[in-house]
Each structure stands twice: as C-alpha cells, then as structure tokens.
Chains A and B, each alone.
Chain A
Amino acid sequence: MADPMRIRAQMQGDKAVVRVLMSHEMETGQRKDSAGKVIPAWHISEVTATHNGKPVLSAEWGPAVAKNPFLQFTLKGAKAGDKVAITWKDNRGETRTDEATVS
C-alpha cells in the first residue's frame, strides 16, 4: 500500500521549512467494527528525516496522531538544492521513504 508522501521544503531566510503529508490510515485500536470487534491499532510509530543523508530528526508517534499525518519542522543551515528525505515506519513494520529537494 502506502501512497507517496507529499514533501515540500522551502527556504525562509537561512532556514528551510519542511512540510510533510504522509498517507496512512492511523487506526487507533479503540474503534470497533460493525461486528463489535476491536479494529487493531495500525499507526506510524517512527518518523525520521535526513538532510543530505545526515539524520536530523527522529520522532515517535502514537495512534493519536491524525489520519494522513502532517508534520512540519524547520531545518537549520539548509540551502536550495539540498535533499531532504523522510522515512516512516508503522507498527506493522511497513516502511516508506520519500525525498524532496529544498527550493
């Protein structure tokens, strides 16, 4: 599954603002289906970001992050043309990496 992420990295002064939209169901594990059975949790649990291959950010997420999660952070010392890659991993072990160029 896993549709590509939408990543936008834009320079603002000497920093780059990175906005990421991931495509993920983010099931909480609290809801029940029509038969009354609990739908098991399925959520992104780890997010990492690299800047030109160097890790700059890691985050842990619980199921309470909204569906199709949004993430924004600010990268110091970036310049146009730099590569920003985002990787997520969910609690089923699925993972996806996407890359964008700072503009």
Chain B
Amino acid sequence: MQNRRETLKQSLAVAGLLGATGLFPQHAFAFNRAAFDAKNIADAVKAYGASAPVESKDVSLTAPDIAENGAVVPMAVASTLPNLKHLLVLVEKNPNALVAKFDVSDAVEPNFATRAKMGQTSDVFAVAITKDNKAFFTKKEVKVTLGGCGG
C-alpha cells in the first residue's frame, strides 16, 4: 500500500520529469521548476545537472554585510572562470534557496546584478556552473536587521 509520503515523492518525480521535458502545462516554457522549488543549495545546483559545488576564488559575490531591509537586498554575481554556462544566486535560509539563474553567453560579461528578498540573516551563495557541469561557489553572510534602525 502506498502511504502519503510515497505518493508525494512520486508525483514530485513526475512533475520534475514533465518540467524537464517542457511538458508541464502551466510552465510550458523552459522554467526549471525543480531548481526553484529546491530547499537547499545542493538540490538547486543538482537540478541544473551540475556536480556538487566546490568553493572557488574565481566566483565573486557582491552583497552588503548588513541589509536593513530584507525585502530589497542588492547582490551581484560575477566570475572569471572560462566556459561558463550559468550563474546562480541563492539565499540559504529562504524558503526556496534559488533566487535567480542567469545564462552566460559570449555577448555578455559574466557579471549580473539584481535585488533579492531575504527572510532572515543568512549566507548568500553565488554559484557558477561551467559547460562541463562543474559547479563553483562563493558565499557571504548577509545580516538582515528587522528593526529597521540598522547599525
């Protein structure tokens, strides 16, 4: 007999497969649902088919030490690695870790900036995935002050 947990697991797997083949009706475009549903960094990176990330100095992350407002935290990722495929921004303690994924092409510098939401003080990860599916990361702790009177 199937219990609830198994059923859930199976439906997740099916959803993942559908998403991977682009058959998921609601997300008919190439949106990687599995990666954005991942609760931790390793799963999100895995959803892009990369190996476990290793720390590297060739990936850089620019984020404030203290964010007074967790709703708008500026962050920038960059990398000097060759053969880059994706650059990811992840916040470890957010409900879903992955914030954004950028595809690197020859026409743009591997350097992107955006603003993210953070639920609480957490490590922010920048992950670079190369064309041979190796992943490299760098991390930085960003403190989120709740009172709003930063300092």
List chain A positions with a Cβ less than 8 A from chain B. 15, 26, 28, 30, 45-46, 49, 51, 54-67, 69-77, 89, 91
Contacts and interface: CB of A to CB of B under 8 A. Distances in A.
A44 to B, nearest CB: 10
Interface string B71-110: 1111010000000000000010011101111110111110
Between B36, B72, B74, B118, the greatest number of chain A beta carbons within 10 A of the residue's beta carbon is seen for B36
13 contacts: A56-B108, A57-B105, A59-B112, A60-B30, A60-B36, A61-B101, A64-B96, A65-B100, A66-B72, A73-B111, A73-B112, A75-B108, A91-B27
Interface string B47-69: 00000000000000000000000
A95 to B, nearest CB: 10
B131 interface: no
Main secondary structure of the interface of A (DSSP, over half): strand
Interface of B: 26-27, 29-32, 35-36, 71-74, 76, 91, 94-96, 98-103, 105-109, 111-118
Contact of A76 (B27, B107, B113, B114): B107
Contacts, number: 107
B116 A73 contact: no
B44 to A, nearest CB: 9
B94 A73 contact: no
B26 to A, nearest CB: 8
Given A60-B32, A66-B72, A75 B107 contact: yes
A70 B109 contact: no
Nearest to A50: B107
